[in-house]
Amino acid sequence: MTYFEEEKEKKRTKTTIHLWFGVTFPSLYGLWVNAAKASIVTCLPGGENIARIFGDFGRESASAFGCVRLGVRVLGFGRNDHVIDKEEFRFCWQKWIKAVVRPVSALIVVDVQNDFIRVIPPINRLLNEVKFDMVVYSLDWHPEDHVSFIDNVKDRPIHHTSEISSEDAQVNDTVIFDVNNDGIPMEQRLWPRHCVQKSWGAQLHDDLKIVEDSVLVYKGTDPDTDSYSVFWDNNKKSQTSLNEELQKRNITDVYICGIAYDVCVSATTAHAIEEGYRALLIDDGCRGVCDADIQATKERTTSSNGLVIHSSQVKSLVSGRDRPPVLAYKLALEISKKMKKK
């Protein structure tokens, strides 16, 4: 049988917790609910206890047990002697379990501006009903001569490898520029003129709720480089202030919504996962351009240990009542990476 056992009588000054990996991992529930009190961890029979830890996600996920076992193994605890000592347990609680049961959450509202499609109601409902630790609004903030505008396509040299000339280019085409005349190709998808700095179209939508103490992040400000992600520009030459702002607030989980699902939301979600955050993409809080690209965004997110969720699930996730095992595993992977760098 799988269990954790604290040898209270024999070793009062040094707690040893024995970790035995079995078919299931039922004792994790006992560990989590008693860890903060440092009380004796009991063995709770039956794999259903894991489902209790992870709420609805655990009951629906056939891989719940595997994710948790893998998470512990990724952290390297109990690998050689099947024993987690007191210091390892303290580290596990502070860096992993605590973040799973008490997440610090930010909502990132991507580019809900006047020039873009409306997706206001589900976002406003979240802002009214859910207490996020941080709310971020991103804004496309382009100069007049921005490289993404179709009417600026003739203002920069086209690279010789581009299959589309500046004369033939149309909206939604991808051309290849030689922006600096240095022979280095740069792909660019062409869009109508949008979100020009200080214009009406660049303002956040009038109907969008703006919460107090929120953070505004401006992107796409370099005339020669587009920036879909709220974290980085498309060439990853420079980053915005977002990552710094999230780290200052010890954010663990980012919930992402807005426009366009398969462009800026997609890029932001991918970079959030790359930067080590647990990313949750709010499906009904986004609108996109291409159905096939939207589906590809969902698949990339889930294959990278992110989640695609409905807005009705957000409140229980932010409060820590629902704890998806895949996010626990994602966090364990990130902690392991940091441990290896030291």
Q: What is the mean pLDDT of residues 127-151?
A: 97
Distance CA 115, CA 120 (A): 14
Closest CA to 90 of 35, 53, 41, 42: 35
Q: What is the mean pLDDT of residues 30-57?
A: 37
Pick the catalytic residue: 92, 195, 257, 264?
Answer: 264
Pick the catalytic residue: 67, 92, 111, 298?
Answer: 111
Confidence at 114, pLDDT banded by 50, 70, 90: confident
Distance CA 234, CA 246 (A): 20
Distance CA 158, CA 183 (A): 10
Please say if the pLDDT value at position 20 is more than 50: no
According to the model, what pLDDT value does residue 290 have?
A: 93
Strand pairing report for 134-140 and 105-110: parallel
Confidence at 19, pLDDT banded by 50, 70, 90: very low
Q: What is the mean pLDDT of residues 190-214?
A: 95
Q: pLDDT digits over 69-84, tens only? A: 666 666 666 555 555 6
Identify the residue with better confidence: 132 or 67. 132
Mean confidence (pLDDT) of the chain: 81
Closest CA to 274 of 219, 220, 334: 334
According to the model, what pLDDT value does residue 59 have?
A: 40
Identify the residue with better confidence: 207 or 78. 207
According to the model, what pLDDT value does residue 258 have?
A: 96
Q: Around 259, how many Cα atoms within 13 Å sit in the side-chain half-sphere?
A: 19
Q: Going by C-beta distance under 8 Å and a sequence separation of 6 or more, which residues neighbour residue 210?
A: 137, 204
Identify the residue with better confidence: 63 or 182. 182
Confidence at 88, pLDDT banded by 50, 70, 90: confident
Pick the catalytic residue: 92, 115, 140, 219?
Answer: 219
Distance CA 339, CA 342 (A): 5
Q: Which fold has domain 105-149+191-319?
A: Rossmann fold (3.40.50)
Lowest mean pLDDT of 23-32, 95-104, 229-238, 243-252, name the range.
23-32
Please say if the pLDDT value at position 10 is more than 90: no
Please say if the pLDDT value at position 128 is more than 80: yes
According to the model, what pLDDT value does residue 304 have?
A: 96
According to the model, what pLDDT value does residue 339 have?
A: 82
**Which residue spans of the chain are classified as CATH 3.40.50.850?**
105-149+191-319
Distance CA 264, CA 288 (A): 9
**248, 275 Cβ separation under 8 angstroms:** no
Distance CA 126, CA 141 (A): 25
Q: In the annotation, is 264 catalytic?
A: yes
Q: What is the mean pLDDT of residues 180-209?
A: 94
Q: In the annotation, is 111 catalytic?
A: yes
Q: pLDDT digits over 219-275, tens only? A: 999 999 999 999 999 999 999 999 999 999 999 999 999 999 999 999 999 999 999
According to the model, what pLDDT value does residue 79 have?
A: 55
Please say if the pLDDT value at position 162 is more than 90: yes
According to the model, what pLDDT value does residue 338 have?
A: 84
Q: Which pTM was predicted? A: 0.79
Please say if the pLDDT value at position 35 is more than 70: no
